[in-house]
Amino acid sequence: MQLLKYSYARKVIKYFYKFFLTISIFENYTINKKKINSKIKFFSVNNKNTIEKNNILKSYFRNKKEKYKRFKHSLFFFLKNKNEIISSGWVCIKKNKKWNIEEIDKKINFKDKKILYDFETIKKFRNKGYYTLLLKLIQNNYLKKKLLIYTQVNNRASVKAITKSGFKFKYNLKKY
């Protein structure tokens, strides 16, 4: 019973929190490949079968089973060093015109653009430029395509990495 009360309270708090959040939208259009020197390996995954064959990916997705559904419309990109995923994120490749930004529960139009979302860098690798590197490598994958990425306004580290990788600020967005 206590778990149900906690779960309900959490949902209520999350609902009202959305009204106070501001999301920054950034856009990029890469024409030429960016020169990148790195010993870190860059990979993409486009289906669940690849995960089952790779122990690193298996352990990464073990606690993130809800993310399996994303392979219907997205690619998973990541940086790997030795036997560890350093930084990762998703790119929506679905031919769709609307995208729901879950943090504020608001839909945006993104016709002819790729949406980058849900990026994560493991704590011990943060503030070392890996997120910026990952974004640059993804941009090299999508030459001559418009890319959109978003983050919370108060996430300064993310905003810095996004702009450093070549994205330009477009606008801020709120739920209301």
Residues 6+ apart with CB under 8 A from 19: 174, 175, 176
pTM of the entire predicted model: 0.88
pLDDT level of residue 24 (50, 70, 90 thresholds)? very high
Binned at pLDDT 50, 70 and 90, residue 1 comes out as very low
